[in-house]
Chains A and B, each alone.
Chain A
Amino acid sequence: MKKENETTTVDNWVLLYADYLYNFAIVRVNDADLAKDLVQDTFIAGINGLKNFEGKSAVRTWLTSILKRKIIDHWRQKESRKTDVFSSFFAEGKSFSYWQEGAKPQGRLTEIELDIENRELKAAILKCVDNLPEKYKSVFVDKIIDEKESEEVCKDNNISPSNFWVIIHRAKMQMRACLENTWFND
Chain B
Amino acid sequence: MIDCKKAAYIIDTKAYKPTSFIKKLGLKFHLVICPHCAKYEKDSKAVDHIVRYVSQHAAALSEAEKKEMIRKLQAKLSN
Give the residues in chain A near B39, CB-CB below 8 Å. 104-107
List B contacts of A96 (CB < 8 A): 3-4, 34
Q: Per a CB cutoff under 8 Å, which of B3, B60, B70 touches A11?
A: B70
Q: Which residues of A contact B50 (CB under 8 A)?
A: 109, 112-113, 116, 125, 179
Interface SS, A side: helix
In the complex, what's the smallest C-beta–C-beta distance from B20 to chain A, in angstroms? 14
Which residues of A123-149 are within 8 A (CB) of B? 125-126, 129, 141, 143-145, 147
Which residues of chain A are within 8 angstroms of B49 by Cβ–Cβ distance? 113
The B contact surface, by secondary structure, is helix
Residue in contact with B47 in the complex, picked from A22, A143, A176, CB distance below 8 Å: A176
Smallest CB separation, B54 vs chain A (Å): 5
Chain B residue nearest to A121 (CB atoms) is: B54
Within 8 A of B (CB), among A14-57: 14-15, 18-19, 22-23, 26-27, 32, 35-36, 39-40, 43-44, 47
A180 x B8 contact (CB < 8 A): no
Task: Give the shortest distance, in Å, between A78 (CB) and chain B (any CB).
Answer: 19
- Judged by a CB distance under 8 angstroms, whether B77 is at the interface is yes
Kindly identify which residue among A3, A18, A94 contacts B78, using a CB–CB cutoff of 8 Å: A3
Q: How far is the CB of A18 from chain B (nearest CB, A)?
A: 6
Query: Do the beta carbons of B36 and A105 come within 8 Å of each other?
Result: yes
Task: Tell me which residues across on chain B come within 8 A of A154, comparing CB atoms.
Answer: none
Interface residue tally on A, bucketed by range? 35 or more
Q: CB of B58 within 8 A of chain A?
A: yes
With a CB–CB cut-off of 8 A, which chain B residues contact A15?
Answer: 66
Given known contacts A116-B53, A126-B54, A23 and B16 CB-to-CB distance under 8 angstroms? no
9 smallest CB-CB distances across A and B, nearest first, come from A107-B39, A98-B4, A109-B46, A95-B3, A105-B40, A105-B39, A107-B42, A169-B12, A109-B43
Q: Known contacts A165-B13, A169-B12: does B43 contact A14 (CB below 8 Å)?
A: no
Given A99-B36, A105-B40, A109-B50, CB of A14 within 8 Å of CB of B73: yes
With the chains together, A47 CA to B73 CA distance in Å? 10
Please pick, from B53, B58, B76, the residue contacting A44 in the complex, using a CB distance under 8 A. B76
Beyond contacts A10-B73, A122-B54: 16 other A-B pairs, Cβ-Cβ < 8 A, are: A14-B70, A22-B60, A26-B59, A27-B58, A40-B72, A93-B4, A93-B5, A99-B4, A106-B43, A112-B46, A113-B49, A122-B57, A126-B58, A144-B52, A165-B13, A172-B12
